[in-house]
Structures are given as structure tokens and as C-alpha cells.
Structure 1
Amino acid sequence: MVLGFKLRDSLRNKRDISTIVKRNDRLEELIELIKERYVDTVNTDLLYQDAVTGILDPLDPHTVYISAEDARIANSELDGGFSGIGVEFSIMHDTVNVTSVTENGPAAKAGMVSGDQLIKVGDSVVAGTRITSERIMALLRGRQGSNVSITIRPIAYEGSRTVQVTRDMIPLYSVDANIMLDSRTGYIKVDRFSATTYEEFTKALAELKKEGATQLIVDLRDNRGGYLDAATSISDELLDNDKLIVSTRGRHTPRIDHSAKEKGAFESGKLIVLVNESSASASEVLAGAVQDWDRGLIIGRRTYGKGLVQEQYEMPDGAALRLTIARYYTPSGRSIQRSFSEGRDVYNEDLENRLLDGELTGKEQVRPADTTPYHTAKGRLVYGGGGITPDVYVPYDTARWSDPLFKRAFSDEMRQAIHDHYVRNRDLLSYSSIQDFTRAFNGEDKIISNYIGLLPPDEQRQVAKHITVQGSNKLFRTQIKAQLARYLFRDNGYYSIRLREDAMVNKALSIINGTQYDAILNGQRIIAQNK
């Protein structure tokens, strides 16, 4: 029995479909007949995919057929890695520029650094107007242990050199950042729940505690979920005394309870979880457990509302079927899954409707999708049927995202200007810490000037006009500085600066450091307004 459970966990809910159902060739026979006798040429692969999609259409929106290529990509993201050389790159001026090198990865061991340019991979020249990101990735990735010859133009000196790189497994990190927001508040950004997330989280938490963190903000915004056991393991670090985290059950699946078992690394101390309308599935498991046990506060906007458990069945050709087998329920008994009774199209339009109705922007009061009452451990009233409703509501900042200058901060031209500044100013490497860079760097004006020079004349005048607006200018400069900090200090550098202008993080800091934290846990609800 022990071996069976271990095997189940290692397979991560991936099963061969042939072990579950008996073979039935009616669909294959039909498609083969069409292929042999139909008047015109048809793509039988697309025909098969459309047929399977049609079969699944009446079921819930999360039961889906995944092509072999999409399944490969999705599995690599959740399994936590792929075989490659360990670089991130960007194509600028028809040239492949290395923007980040994985620490202790194959490329780093070969001496490659951010700012290097790729000239050749093997015998293939990787420069010119026809080069694509897809082609570069295909050339750089390969079998673990295989060697690849790469010719680079180093950032440190003129000329070129060729390095031999041995491909290895490259981790896809799911914890984007772990930083101290102040002298006692740690911050961890979790992008998804993959096979390595729990290990990454505990490592990040340990580092923050060494730096003096006694209270914690966990950011699950835009986290679409992933492995359930990753979410329950992290919840176990936050909850004590065998507390129920989540239960799952379905028509053919008996009830399974997931409870806190181990001594957690952060069972006491103030805790805030940040969520938004794109926090889904496993994110809602963690947020629901924290809220139902009054372990901490949920701040942000109502979550996505996905409370269904999928099991993945592998097809012989590498494709997969993700089949919903159960629903999950929070400790108070809530089902977070929102209704899909009106079909997939209506279901997929939910976020757009919430924006139009004013729920996301604070124009309308947040109303529960299901009025069935549930109660937290301290008796606070909560609801299910449509996501986790936060204890403190922070509306979507429409003014910021509609600001044309804010959008320009992430444009291709700005990306080019920041990269060029990094390449041309090697004295940037003298900054020893994020704090040192944040305090001393003042080169935003040079980057802005270079950026404007990359624009057409009519756009140059528009940008110059927008920069004179004080609020826009401050945000614009913050984003520039944050993106440059990523070159020097990876994602921790980026988030250390960007979060200074984050309304939800600032609201969380004011609550966790003030008197409202305990008041809200005792039943007070607060709505934050963007200024």
C-alpha cells in the first residue's frame, strides 16, 4: 500500500488511457474512411482533434483534449524543468541577445553572461530578419548530456569566441521572488504550483526568516494553479494541529481529506495572501484554507472560481486528456467552483462581464455568486460558488493600465533602450546589492532619451508630452528602473522596485503593520479605493 501511494504521487495524476478503458476503434475507422474515400484532401489530425473536442463540449470547461506539443510544453512547466543550456534571450536589431543566464546552469559554467550575443548555434547562423524565438529554442534545447557549440559576441570585449556547452536539466522556477518589504515583512511571489514549488517556497521562507521576517505576504495574483499537493504542502507550513486544508470527492472518487500533518515553518505570525480574478484552482485551495481557519487575511479581488480536480490521461501519440474527476471543498465546506450550466462560452466570458459590471473596478459592490452561508473558525460569514471573496477588497487600477505611458514602459522600444543601456554601461556591475542600486542609480533620463530616439517623430512628441504628467512620469521611471534591476539582480531586483508602486501590496503593508489586521479577523470588512 505504501509503494502504491508513493507511485501515485510520483505520477502526478498522469495515467495511460489504455489502462482505464477498452479500445474502441469506431472513431478511428470513421476518420480512416474519410481519409480514403472523401472527395477532397483532409487533415486527419485536425479532424480527430475536432471530433474529440466535440465529444467533450457538453462537459465542464476544464475537461480538455491537449495536443502532443501543447502537452509537452504544459508538462515541462509543471514538472519544473526541461533540457537546455539555461539562458533567456530577446531578439533585438535582428540579433539574439542574452538577457539572463541561469545560475550554475550549463551556459553559466561555459562563461556566458547577460549581454552576450549569439552568432551561431552548431552550424546554424542565428542572426538576420528571419530568425524567430521558436527556432532559437529548438536549437538550444536538446537531449540532456548532449553537447552544443555556440559562437558568441561577448559583452566584455570585441570579437567573438566559441564555447562548448553541455545541455542539462534547466529548472523552471515557480517562485518568482522572495524579498523583504520592510524590516519584518517578507514577501513571496508564487507564479504556479509545480513539482518544485514546495521546495522553492520553503527555501524562500527560510531565507526571509534569516533576514528577520516575522510576518509574511504570499502573492498568488495571476497564479492559475497546478499540482494540488504543492498547494496543500505549502498550506501545511502555515497551519497547525491537523487542520483540514481541503477535501475532494466525485461520483467515482471517494472523499479524500488533505490535512496539516507536519510542524510548519510559519504557523504563527501575521499572514496575508494576495489574490485577484486570475488566481485559480490550487491558489484558491491555499487561500480558502487560510481564510476558513482565520489563519490570515485575503486581500485583493474575488478569485477565478475553479474548484474542479483533473486527472491527466496520456494518449499513445503524446496527446493527453484532462478529465475532471472530483470537486474540492474548503475546510468550511465551500465549493469554490462557479457555475458552468450556461455553457463554455458564457463561462469564459465571466471575467469580461465582471469588468463591465464594475465588480473589478470598485464601481459596484462585490456580491457573492452563491448566497449559501458558511462560517470561518471565528464565525465570520463567507460564501462559495464563485471563487474566494477577499477580506479586504482592492479594485483593479484602470487608470494605471489605461495610461499610454505605462503601456510604453513595456514596449519593444523600451526593452531595446534598457538593454542597450545595460550593455553600454558596465559600471552597473559595481552595484553590490539591490538596496545599493535602488538608492544610488539615477540613469533613468538617459534611458528615456535613448527610448525616445528609437520612436518615429510623431510618437516622440507624444511621449515627451506624457512624461510631463507627474503621476505618469513617476510610474514610468519606476518601471524602467525595475526592468534594469532584473538584468543585475534577477526577479528579486525587479520586484523590489516595482512593488513600491503596487496598490495592493501597499494596502497589505498598511494593514499588516497597523491595527486593522486583528479587527478584520474579528469580522470587519474593508474596501480599499485607488487614488
Structure 2
Amino acid sequence: MSNRKLNVFLPFLMAVVLALGMFLGHKMPGSNTGGTTVFFAKPKNGPLQEVLDLIKTKYVDTINTDNLQQEAIEGMLLHLDPHSVYIPPSQLQQVNEDLDGNFQGIGIEFNITADTVNVVSVISGGPSEAAGLQTGDKILKVGDSLIAGNNVTTDKIRKLLRGPADSEVSTTILRGTKQSVVKIKRGVIPVTSIDASYMLAPGVGYIKISKFSATTFDDFMKSMRELHDAGMKKLVIDLRQNPGGFLDAATRIADEFLDEGKLIVYTKGKDFPRTDYKTKRPGMFEKGALAILTDEGSASASEILAGAIQDHDRGTIIGRRTFGKGLVQEQYDLDNGGALRLTVARYYIPSGRSIQKPYGNGHDAYDEDINDRFNHGELVNKDSIRITDTVPYRTASGRRVYGGGGITPDIFIPFDTSRFSTTLMAMYSHNTFSNFAYRYYTTHQAMFKQYKDAQDFVKNFETTPAIYQEFMSFAKTDSVPGLNKVTAREEIEIKSRIKALMARQLYRTEGFYETINANDPAVKKALEVVEADKEK
């Protein structure tokens, strides 16, 4: 067909196609009812989205539908397990930073007393140290924002000080009576999950793991090598109050203690096929006495590590029954910038035990479980532990172990209720100990220079009667009740806590735990157990 004939024919062809389309469209279902045709059907919104859309477009008053959506999501999740959670956009960065093992900021620890931001410590090698900040400095302004005496909150300070690496923040600092403007170039600040690592006794190492983050395994191995070089033959790992974190960190650490090819944990769910996690390589500490400390705050990855060690009879679990979180979450990013952590499977340790405690009575009952344990007497008496799973689980050597909620220790250490009298609880809740230690340290820094390291401090520093009396006077101004009726046991606890927090000012968490562990019953028992073990 020639181009001329085609030019004449095309308009006629298009008109025919258009007419046919209009005819077919008229005959399609829904053409006279306002509905959509089958060719161009839009996916139907669920009733939840329909209601939100109607509220947004028709409701008499202006409503923040973002808040409605969050409440609706949280309402739905109440019908699931307690660990399926919605993370709003405003919290996601902080949640991820906690597990990433670093954040971007200026590298200080601070506290807030009397509406004043005090620099408690400066992270070695960080941006603030490079800029010249010191413990005892007070931050009055960040940029143009006045923060002193302005009902300042920790979250507000954190948002002002943190920011992209290499960006600059201007701070106004008060040191003594002199104000100065200090510009700080932000950087990536590592957050170690190893709170302490030191030689507990000749040949016995101690490692305190606070969580299982992306950097935990590397931090742990660094500590192991240092302890090995210091002569470590036996080891105590402290998992008390460790809420868990990444599964990978726990399994890699377990691999250092177990022979190759051993099952560490497996996961399984309705739409989640069984996946086994086994040891893959020769470990650094497959031989040698091992003890693991746990309590009711040890959860998730902590329970996986402790459970694998117990099920393979590799070490001794000492303390109290763990939390009982054996559910696997996957995180899904949402379009609004938030995320959903949805439970997709359960954890099972080598004996076949699920470590998840029951949650069928609702979230409130689940949240009250630890209080119920205390009221029932479980935290002070091993015989009061309630075993909800009667299946006879066995370790590799045939020892009986228990499921139905957490890891039951091999050796029970009761909760010390004397440490939580009304007077002591008031001191904890008012931050009286921390505030006093900070004030005393900043006014006596020259005196503390005589201690060369944490070990020297533990051995030679004493909370003298003078320091104790100064603390009691400070506590009186802090409205702490019962100061005229302090018992001998409470006085011991007060002096011990003051010393530990002084050590924290000098040597951070390493100093705190090395000091507080000197009189810790669980640590003493662990030391006794590993030193008595002649076979490993």
C-alpha cells in the first residue's frame, strides 16, 4: 500500500477501533453502575484502608491519620505474639544503630542533672577528644539551641549532637567558670558490646557481653585473644541482662566452644522450613573449663548460646532461669519509613527444646511474667521454678533438662533482695549514686591519678567513712527516705556501689564490672566451679 493510500485509510481505521471500544465498554459489567471494568480493575482496598481514606476525606475535623495508622497497626499486632512489633520512622534509626554496633556523633557519654548536660566521659580516639572536651565539662548550647536550664531531655540532646560523619557541630562549653565555643567534627562512633574483659583470677578470664550486635563477634574474639595472651585457661562468660540481638553473633561465638559439625540451634515455622545452624570450623576454646552466667534478663541470642553450651555439656550454666524468648523475627521496611518486625519461626536448641515461654494469656500477662516469678518466689528459691513443659529433654550425656520457657541453670544463684530496700531503690531511681560519683570525681581528679589501671583501683581504693558521710549528706539533699535507718547490709551495698561508679568514671564499664564483680555471688560461684574443674 502506498504512503498516500495509508494516510487516507488510517483515520478511518482509528474511528472503527474507537467505536468498537466504546461499544464493548458499554456492554462490560459495571459500565452503568460506576464500577470498574474487568480490563481495568483496580485492586480493592481492604476495609482498614477504606476507613482511613474516608476519615481523611470526609471526617468533620482534621485528623492526623499517621497516628491512626500506627494505632491500628499496633492494635492488630496485639493479636499476635509479644515480639511482633511496629517500629515508627522516628525510632527506626536508633533501633538500627543499637544493632549495627556504631552511630554517627561526637563520642561522649553525658548525664543531665538540674537541667544541665554534663560530660561524664569522652570516648578515647573520638571526635570530642580530638576537639579537647573533658570529663566535667558542661554543654550549654548546641548550635543556636540553648539547652541548659531548658527542661532538656536525653532524646533532644542526642538528636542535636548526632549527625552525618564529617559534618560539624558547634557547642558552647562551660569548664569551671569559663565559657568557650568548641566546634566538633562528627565521626563514626563504635559501640562495643563487650562491657568488660579481664583476668578474674590467674588462668581464669571473664567476658561480659551486653548484647549481640553486628560487631559482637569481632569484639569478642579481640577479647579472647587478649585473655589468651594473658594466660587464660578457663573462662567465665556473663550474659546477665543481655537481651539478645543477631543470631549470627551468637552462633559464631558458640562455634568457638564446640567441636565441628555440632548443632547449635535450628529454626522452624509454618511457612519457614527448618534451618539448621551448625559449627563450621575449629574453635579457639573447644577445651577448657567454661561457665556462663544468666538471669531473667538474658534473652533470645543469649539463650541460644547458653542453651547450646548446656545441651552439649560443654560448660556450666550458673544463675537464674532466662527470659524465655525463642521467636524469630524478620524486619520488613515500610513505605512510611518505619518497619515491621514480624515473627516467622521459633528457635529450637540441640535437645529439641523451644525456649519460648507461653504467651497465650495476652501481652499484659506476658509482660508481667518476671514480676510473677518474683512474687511466686522463683527468683530466690530454685524449687519454686515452674516448669510448663513436661517433655523429658536430654543433653548429649543424657542429663535431664527442661523446656517451656528459658534455660534453667545447672547451679542456681538467688536474687539478692536485700539490695532493693526502699532506701536503696530511691537511690537508684534518683540516680543518686551516679550523680554523686560524677560530682566527687570531677572535684577530686588529682587524687584519682594515683591508680594505674582498674585492677590497681579495685585493690587499693576504699570508700572511706569520709566519702560515705559525704554521700549520705548528698542523698539527704536528693530526698532519699530512710537515711537515719540504714542497715549494716545497706551500708555495704552503698559503699560497694560508690566504688564501682568511681571506677566507671575512670575506666568506663570495664572498671565498673571489675569492681562490682569482686563481691558478686554468681561470679564467685563461677570462679569456684571453673577452678575446681580439673578435666577440662
TM-score by shorter chain over 0.5: yes
* Secondary structure of the structure 2 residue equivalent to 1:310: strand
- Could you tell me which amino acid in structure 1 is paired with residue 335 of structure 2? P
Quick one: distance in 2 between partners of 1:360 and 1:243? 32
Contact 1:96 1:117 in 2 (8 A): yes
In structure 2, the partner of 1:491 is: 509
Change (3 A) 1:171 1:371: same
Quick one: distance in 2 between partners of 1:59 and 1:261? 35
In structure 2, the partner of 1:434 is: 454
Quick one: distance in 1 between partners of 2:433 and 2:377? 32
Contact 1:307 1:328 in 2 (8 A): yes
Quick one: distance in 2 between partners of 1:172 and 1:78? 9
In structure 1, the partner of 2:483 is: 463
Q: Deviations over 1:365-394 (max 9, x none)?
A: 334220101111111011212111111111
- Could you tell me which amino acid in structure 2 is paired with residue 118 of structure 1? I
* Secondary structure of the structure 2 residue equivalent to 1:160: strand
In structure 2, the partner of 1:355 is: 374
Quick one: distance in 2 between partners of 1:144 and 1:316? 26
1:476 CA drift (Å): 1.1
Quick one: distance in 1 between partners of 2:433 and 2:349? 44
2:395 to 376, 383, 407: 376
In structure 1, the partner of 2:136 is: 115
Are 2:179 and 1:160 aligned? yes
Are 2:344 and 1:319 aligned? no
1:446 CA drift (Å): 3.8
Change (3 A) 1:205 1:58: same
* Secondary structure of the structure 2 residue equivalent to 1:248: strand
CA RMSD of aligned residues (A): 2.3
In structure 1, the partner of 2:250 is: 231
* Secondary structure of the structure 2 residue equivalent to 1:430: coil
Query: Which segment is superposed worse, 39-48 or 304-313?
Result: 39-48
* Secondary structure of the structure 2 residue equivalent to 1:396: coil
Alignment of 1:338-417 (within 5 A): 338-362=357-381, 364-402=383-421, 404-405=423-424, 407-408=426-427, 411-417=430-436
- Could you tell me which amino acid in structure 1 is paired with residue 451 of structure 2? Y
1:48 to 69, 75, 79: 69
2:152 to 128, 131, 146: 131
Q: Deviations over 1:331-353 (max 9, x none)?
A: 11111112222332322222222
In structure 1, the partner of 2:194 is: 175
Query: Which segment is superposed worse, 342-351 or 329-338?
Result: 342-351
1:253 CA drift (Å): 1.6
Quick one: distance in 2 between partners of 1:49 and 1:233? 36
* Secondary structure of the structure 1 residue equivalent to 2:149: coil
* Secondary structure of the structure 2 residue equivalent to 1:42: coil
Change (3 A) 1:480 1:410: farther
- Could you tell me which amino acid in structure 1 is paired with residue 214 of structure 2? A
Over the matched positions of the two proteins, sequence identity in percent amounts to 46
- Could you tell me which amino acid in structure 2 is paired with residue 167 of structure 1? R
Change (3 A) 1:76 1:465: same
In structure 1, the partner of 2:310 is: 291
Alignment of 1:83-232 (within 5 A): 83-154=104-175, 159-232=178-251
Q: Any gaps of 5 or more consecutive residues in structure 2?
A: 1-41
Change (3 A) 1:120 1:364: same
In structure 2, the partner of 1:17 is: none
Contact 1:240 1:264 in 2 (8 A): yes
- Could you tell me which amino acid in structure 2 is paired with residue 371 of structure 1? T
- Could you tell me which amino acid in structure 2 is paired with residue 104 of structure 1? G
In structure 1, the partner of 2:14 is: none
Contact 2:141 2:173 in 1 (8 A): yes
Q: Deviations over 1:404-428 (max 9, x none)?
A: 2465267433333222211111221
Aligned positions, number: 493
Contact 2:418 2:490 in 1 (8 A): no
Change (3 A) 1:403 1:271: farther
Change (3 A) 1:131 1:307: closer
* Secondary structure of the structure 2 residue equivalent to 1:414: helix
Alignment of 1:291-310 (within 5 A): 291-310=310-329
Query: Which segment is superposed worse, 501-510 or 441-450?
Result: 441-450
2:87 to 58, 66, 78: 66
Q: Which has the larger radius of gyration?
A: 2
Quick one: distance in 2 between partners of 1:355 and 1:373? 26
Are 2:529 and 1:511 aligned? yes
Contact 1:409 1:476 in 2 (8 A): no
Quick one: distance in 1 between partners of 2:367 and 2:528? 35
In structure 2, the partner of 1:16 is: none
Query: Which segment is superposed worse, 484-493 or 446-455?
Result: 446-455
Quick one: distance in 2 between partners of 1:441 and 1:362? 35
Change (3 A) 1:501 1:25: farther
1:491 CA drift (Å): 0.8
* TM-score, length-scaled by structure 2: 0.87
1:473 to 481, 488, 491: 491
* TM-score, length-scaled by structure 1: 0.87
- Could you tell me which amino acid in structure 2 is paired with residue 439 of structure 1? K
Q: Deviations over 1:57-84 (max 9, x none)?
A: 3222211222112222211101112110
1:326 CA drift (Å): 1.1
Alignment of 1:254-273 (within 5 A): 254-273=273-292
1:439 CA drift (Å): 2.8
1:139 CA drift (Å): 1.4
Contact 2:266 2:276 in 1 (8 A): yes
Contact 1:417 1:450 in 2 (8 A): no
Contact 1:417 1:447 in 2 (8 A): no
Contact 1:298 1:391 in 2 (8 A): yes
1:228 CA drift (Å): 0.5
In structure 2, the partner of 1:453 is: 473
Q: Deviations over 1:186-227 (max 9, x none)?
A: 111111111111111111111112222211111111111111
- Could you tell me which amino acid in structure 2 is paired with residue 440 of structure 1? N
Quick one: distance in 1 between partners of 2:528 and 2:101? 35
Q: Deviations over 1:36-94 (max 9, x none)?
A: 22244433122111212232232222112221122222111011121100001112243
Q: Deviations over 1:10-38 (max 9, x none)?
A: xxxxxxxxxxxx98643333212112222
Contact 2:331 2:340 in 1 (8 A): yes
Contact 2:426 2:480 in 1 (8 A): no
Change (3 A) 1:56 1:98: same
- Could you tell me which amino acid in structure 2 is paired with residue 206 of structure 1? R
* Secondary structure of the structure 2 residue equivalent to 1:304: coil
